[in-house]
Structure 1
Amino acid sequence: MKKIQVGLIGFGTVGSGLAQTLYEQKERLQRKVGTEIVLTQVADIMTDSLPEQFAGVKLTKDAGDIFSNPDIDIVVELIGGMEPARTFMLEAIKNGKHVVTANKALLSVHGKEIFEAAVANNVEVGFEASVGGGIPVIKSLKEGLVANRIESIMGIMNGTANYILTRMTDEGVPFDEVLKDAQEQGFAEADPTYDVEGIDTAHKLAILMTIAYGKHVHLDDINTEGISNITPVDIEFAKEFGCRIKLLAISRNHDTHVEARVHPTMVPNSHMLANINGAYNAIHFTGDTVGNVLLYGLGAGMMPTGSAVAADVVDIGRNILCNSINRVPALSYLPQHIGKPTITPMSELSGPYYFRITALDKPGVLSTISGIFSKYNISIKSVIQKSRHELDPVAIVIHSHVANEDSVQKCIAEIDALDVCTENTVKIRILTDNK
């Protein structure tokens, strides 16, 4: 029987994880697929030799050697970034190669172009590893939940941010200190911007929304806020409200429009997402038929991500052997039924809020602030004021009832313009149910 031959571009952390997975699981995969899956060629400009167990694998510094190799069935792109990854994937597709990638940034920006090229050339695109590392979230959404109208997507999708917030919550350590430690331990990149500012999470949410709703969601469609301004003070107040702060991706389906946002959120301790800690990820779906589904596991790492890439290679290999290419559409919906999304404006969203206002401790300040909240129809549920010496800045913490985002922004702008306010107001949304 025909062997399934794989060409790999990029022998870094994930690439070597895939190679090791294919090597260690060779016999098991052969029993499951019915033929051998062979790593035939590797392209990497930084690698001069491969480990000895890959002695039979060709090594090149030119990715074009893989595209032009007639024996290769599947090209795996694991170099990351926009270019040359985009060019490599399109070139592979043009040459009739199936492609597999873990590149969430690329798919959240150029996914429409890549998926349309794959359809035009009758090849498959596998991207399980682009969301959730080793968690089979893509397959679950596009196949396991195929009979559902997805009502909502919520999740902790970045292990670095979750690790930082967990340590800040459990140990009271400031953000900068935890980040430095995470970088030293390898949990965070030297440049952590994508992780801590929510961009990596937004990449993943764009991909999940595209599959869930049959709309090409772009990274720019997602309102994104990070965690770099979260302080131990906010975390302690969250505890007083019975919450933990998490960086959440949130999308809710309103039929004619869908929410698309990433931001720090106070999650009640009773909610399952409040108890996802450390470097773990969790993605929560609500379907109209199935109800609530939670997928949990390691969202990154050499072997978990390598496992997810290998799963795509196996899926495509099985389809090649059965002559059933594109039996399952890459984005679940048939290509002709995928359209443009209508994104809910942030100004139209409503929910309860946490506000931390830093002001001088003078008579009448609280009354003035309360009057501004009333002016914008923001109802106050509770107030905590940590008093110290007169004229010292104090924290005035307000927990609101459901309020409109546009009104909240106007209210904060007016409060921050007061002479007695010494810092910008901190605003954190509080999670309610999925309705």
Structure 2
Amino acid sequence: MINVGIIGVGTVGTSVVKVLEKNRDIISARAGKEIQVVKGVVRNLEKKRNIDIPLTTDPFEVTDDPNIDIVVELMGGVEEAYEVVQRALKNKKAVVTANKALLAYHRYELQQLAGDIPFEFEASVAGGIPIIKALREGLSANHIDAIRGIMNGTCNYILTKMANEGAEFSAILKEAQELGYAEADPTFDIEGYDAAHKLLILASIAYGIDAKPEDILIEGITKINTLDFEFANEFGYSIKLLTIAKKRGNEVELRVHPTLVPNEQMIAKVDGVMNGVSVIGDVVGETMYYGPGAGGDATASAVVSNIIDIARGGKCSPMLGFKRPLESGMELASKDSILSNYYLRLLVEDRPGILAKIASIFGEYNISIESMLQKPGPDRLAHLLLSTHQCQESEIHKALNEIKQQAFLKEEPAMIRIEV
């Protein structure tokens, strides 16, 4: 018998309990042992949860209980969760977590503390999609050349609706909140932080990179408007919030931002609240993983799969997939050194010579314009929608800073990177 304690019996924790009960026969057959939840931790004992397990408000009643074999951490947050998980590992208990924020900041410390103690975290990235197992095991023969992921369903839902209906961001965000796809305070999702935490976890497994959210480029989707979708439609792109890891020699670019993606690419076809992750290996080529990235049942599916792995006696040590450091010593590329094509939206005076002046400024920084679309604006103004050939991040920012000083510019420029 495997005894499980769940710290955080909310939406996901409740689903875990129900899945273990509903699918008890097949789970015990696959695990080779019976699995039961013997205790749960909640913040409010008065709230009804429609599950029949003993509850407490003290997480240490789970971490310190000698009868509990596996601690499932679903409480969220960073430092309090870190303290709780450390306590469980020090008590030699296997741990399963879905906490991406915890791992974004403390994954290497937890790996060192865990040692040979099973520590699993499939549900921390892309919900029900088994991307951790794919990277850590299925693709372990490959150098990973690139990872591109749509790993936030809230943003993907909003961008899909904007593309299909021509509606503005604020209207779709409100609709997403009413449908439960977005939180009352959606900042963590729409500003890209949720996706960034997931990217950092995948980057550790793929490249052995120890980076924190503050170290990488993170941009959200709040500045995107309907004109950007008109340009995308005209030139055959979709707009997605992408998590990107890309290897360049001994360096790895890590970034999260809205991205123009050619419609023919597989990742461009991931719509609505669904998640998708494309991984390019040097041996296998491109593989694609698609499915629900959030929600109680999808996340519970991943949590329970980790519990089954541990019950079977499985150990994945170290938890991030490297027994020793890479000889090549992969390093994080600086934000300024990122190479990309760029799309720019500029509101300018509608008079002769403006485009020539903009092209001249770009030329000073060795940036060439690839395509251009002009849309009428208010009161003798025009929207210029431009795309560039590949250039360095630092150069496009220098050019934009110079354009911002020009009297013909009438609002802050908007920029979206293009992944080709």
Alignment partner, residue 14 of structure 1 = 12
Alignment partner, residue 104 of structure 1 = 100
Deviation for aligned residue 1:53: 5.1
CA distance in 2, matches of 1:105, 1:381: 39
> Does the Cα contact within 8 Å between 1:214 and 1:338 map onto a contact in 2?
no
Alignment partner, residue 213 of structure 1 = 207
> Does the Cα contact within 8 Å between 1:157 and 1:281 map onto a contact in 2?
yes
> Does the Cα contact within 8 Å between 2:377 and 2:383 map onto a contact in 1?
no
Alignment partner, residue 357 of structure 2 = 368
What SS is found at the alignment partner of 1:258? strand
CA distance in 1, matches of 2:45, 2:267: 41
For 1:34-433, list aligned pairs within 5 A. Answer: 34-48=32-46, 54=52, 57-119=53-115, 122-319=116-313, 326-334=315-323, 342-387=331-376, 392-432=380-420
Deviation for aligned residue 1:336: 6.2
What SS is found at the alignment partner of 1:248? strand
After TM superposition, the structure 1 stretch with the greater mean CA deviation from structure 2, 328-337 or 391-400, is: 328-337
What SS is found at the alignment partner of 1:69? coil
Alignment partner, residue 29 of structure 1 = 27
Say if 1:237 and 1:51 are closer, same or farther in 2 by CA, change over 3 A: closer
CA distance in 1, matches of 2:353, 2:332: 41
* Aligned-pair Cα RMSD in Å: 1.8
Deviation for aligned residue 1:64: 1.3
What SS is found at the alignment partner of 2:312? helix
What SS is found at the alignment partner of 2:321? coil
Deviation for aligned residue 1:387: 3.9
Say if 1:179 and 1:53 are closer, same or farther in 2 by CA, change over 3 A: closer
Deviation by residue 1:292-343 (Cα, 9 ceiling, x = unmatched) = 1000000000100000000111111111xxxx6x355311112666998521
> Does the Cα contact within 8 Å between 1:383 and 1:398 map onto a contact in 2?
yes
Instruction: Specify the code of the residue in structure 2 equivalent to 1:22.
Output: L
After TM superposition, the structure 1 stretch with the greater mean CA deviation from structure 2, 341-350 or 244-253, is: 341-350
Say if 1:396 and 1:53 are closer, same or farther in 2 by CA, change over 3 A: closer
> Does the Cα contact within 8 Å between 1:351 and 1:402 map onto a contact in 2?
yes
CA distance in 2, matches of 1:340, 1:134: 32
Deviation for aligned residue 1:427: 1.2
> Does the Cα contact within 8 Å between 1:132 and 1:299 map onto a contact in 2?
yes
CA distance in 1, matches of 2:318, 2:36: 25
Say if 1:388 and 1:162 are closer, same or farther in 2 by CA, change over 3 A: closer
> Does the Cα contact within 8 Å between 1:268 and 1:274 map onto a contact in 2?
yes
Query: Given the two structures, how large is their TM-score scaled by the length of structure 1?
Result: 0.93
> Does the Cα contact within 8 Å between 1:360 and 1:421 map onto a contact in 2?
yes
What SS is found at the alignment partner of 1:252? strand
Instruction: Specify the code of the residue in structure 1 equivalent to 2:369.
Output: I
What SS is found at the alignment partner of 1:260? strand
What SS is found at the alignment partner of 2:149? strand
CA distance in 1, matches of 2:329, 2:68: 35
Instruction: Specify the code of the residue in structure 2 equivalent to 1:406.
Output: S
Matched residues, number: 420
Instruction: Specify the code of the residue in structure 1 equivalent to 2:193.
Output: I
Deviation by residue 1:26-84 (Cα, 9 ceiling, x = unmatched) = 11111111210010111112133765652xx3211111111221110000010101132
Deviation by residue 1:226-250 (Cα, 9 ceiling, x = unmatched) = 1000001111111111101100011
CA distance in 1, matches of 2:249, 2:90: 36
Query: Given the two structures, how large is their TM-score scaled by the length of structure 2?
Result: 0.96
Deviation by residue 1:200-244 (Cα, 9 ceiling, x = unmatched) = 110000000000112323222321111000001111111111101
